[in-house]
Chains A and B, each alone.
Chain A
Amino acid sequence: MKRFTLLGTAILPLALGINALGDPLPPGQVDFGSFSVSASGGQFVEVNVTSSLISLASKFLEKDQPDVAQVLKGLQLVHVNVIALDDQNRSDIVSRIQAVRKDLETKGWERIVTVQEKSQDVGVYLKTQNKDTVQGLVVVVQDGKNQAVFVNVVGDIKPEQLAMLGDKLHIDPLKHIGEQIGK
């Protein structure tokens, strides 16, 4: 019995370690953490389009718009969060925006677009491999005191393709941000 306990004690950390190593995030994926709906009933949008749904969309488009289908085939995940800010969640979300930006910069993401006008602050970050392959894109927006937007597209995507992606996948916030970046 003691032998089994010892064996179990030895195996458990190893098994946990293997499990943790077995499912790492792809290089272009960023974990923004979980967001909860604000108690005041403000707007909350969360879209998480996984590879199976992206390939479904690309299959629909491959004859009509092969170039768009090709872009979609290079993607693994599209994640969008839009959170209305209120007195209860503002400080938490703003500090999370800052933490995400700092984390991206330390992890080798390149800030390629900065838009700061009025109370709006938009940051677009790109993760590349060998300077020519895009692994992921992150957009973090703080729209004054009212709204925050987090976008993560995992795969080969260019910032100017965001509006098209938002349009084809029917994700309006993504389309809106893509149009803003394109201006």
Chain B
Amino acid sequence: MNTNQTVQPPHTGLRTVETVLLILLVGFVLAVVGVTGYFRLSTETATLRESALGSLNVPWNHKVNLHVGFFTTGLVRIGSHFFKLPPEAQAGIDSIHGAEVGLYNLQGTAGVVDTGTILARADKAMSARRWDRVVGVSHEHELVAVYVPRKGLSTARMRCCVLVLQADKLVVAGASGNFDPLVEIAQQHLALKDGAQRFALR
């Protein structure tokens, strides 16, 4: 008996439909994640926001929540090379790899803002994520705090998060980037300046 006769031919048509559906589904999910990502803060910046809002314990509503990540800034970087931009502007664009900002309106904060508690809670939350505060300034219920990662910081890999509390506004922001193009442009400027000075001396 020939067993080959019992083998069913593969349903290539159905497989193609399944594959197309799967690609469409993955594409849709990626599009949803991508689009919502513009309005979602990164984990560290969200941690900073949660710790501040948790300490304040007042009603709030968000005014702005915007996040441009590596993909969008990458597109901007690629696109910018098709235009003749000043080298400083190009270096600035090349340096930014991600930026985000969240602006929140707070209600009934008069007399209830304890910046010490906010700072202590934010420090604890960020420290758990291995981020340290490098700057903390508080004066009359206003607060500015800047955090950077404990390790892995260099000109090529710069990241920071900022919290600003002023009256009834809370701002949390974050940025990441590669400062090497900026360092390079600064050094080029200095080299030109040095050259000009040497030329002038002759």
Determine if A60 and B183 form an interchain contact, defined as CB atoms under 8 angstroms apart: yes
Residues of A within 8 A of B114 (CB): 37, 39
Would you call the interface of chain B mostly helix, strand, loop, or mixed? mixed
- Give the nearest-CB partner of A65 in chain B: B190
- The digit string for B120-151, where 1 denotes a CB below 8 A from any CB of A, is 10000000000011111111110000001001
- Give the nearest-CB partner of B123 in chain A: A34
Determine if B135 and A47 form an interchain contact, defined as CB atoms under 8 angstroms apart: yes
The yes or no answer to A143 lying at the interface (CB within 8 A) is no
Determine if B134 and A43 form an interchain contact, defined as CB atoms under 8 angstroms apart: no
The yes or no answer to A46 lying at the interface (CB within 8 A) is yes
- Give the nearest-CB partner of B119 in chain A: A37
The yes or no answer to A130 lying at the interface (CB within 8 A) is no
Determine if B134 and A53 form an interchain contact, defined as CB atoms under 8 angstroms apart: yes
Residues of B within 8 A of A63 (CB): 186-187, 190-191
Determine if B136 and A45 form an interchain contact, defined as CB atoms under 8 angstroms apart: yes
Determine if A56 and B137 form an interchain contact, defined as CB atoms under 8 angstroms apart: no
Residues of A within 8 A of B148 (CB): 50, 52-53
Determine if A52 and B154 form an interchain contact, defined as CB atoms under 8 angstroms apart: yes
Would you call the interface of chain A mostly helix, strand, loop, or mixed? mixed
The yes or no answer to B51 lying at the interface (CB within 8 A) is no
The yes or no answer to A161 lying at the interface (CB within 8 A) is no
B residues contacting the other copy or chain, number (CB 8 A): 27
The yes or no answer to B153 lying at the interface (CB within 8 A) is yes
Sorting the interface of chain A by its residue count into under 10, 10 to 19, 20 to 34 or 35 or more gives: 20 to 34
Bound complex: CA A47 to CA B134 (Å): 5
- The digit string for B148-185, where 1 denotes a CB below 8 A from any CB of A, is 10010111001000000000000000000001000100
- Give the nearest-CB partner of A43 in chain B: B139
Determine if B134 and A49 form an interchain contact, defined as CB atoms under 8 angstroms apart: yes
The yes or no answer to A73 lying at the interface (CB within 8 A) is no
- Give the nearest-CB partner of A37 in chain B: B116
B122 smallest CB distance to A (angstroms):
12
Determine if B135 and A46 form an interchain contact, defined as CB atoms under 8 angstroms apart: yes
Known A36-B120, A37-B116, A37-B119: A59·B183 in contact at CB below 8 Å: yes
Determine if A41 and B154 form an interchain contact, defined as CB atoms under 8 angstroms apart: no
Residues of A within 8 A of B138 (CB): 37, 41, 43-45
The yes or no answer to B115 lying at the interface (CB within 8 A) is yes
Bound complex: CA A55 to CA B153 (Å): 10
Q: What residues make up the interface of B, taking CB atoms closer than 8 Å to A?
A: 114-116, 119-120, 132-141, 148, 151, 153-155, 158, 179, 183, 186-187, 190-191
5 extra A-B contacts, CB within 8 A, seeds A44-B136, A55-B154: A41-B139, A41-B141, A43-B138, A49-B134, A53-B153
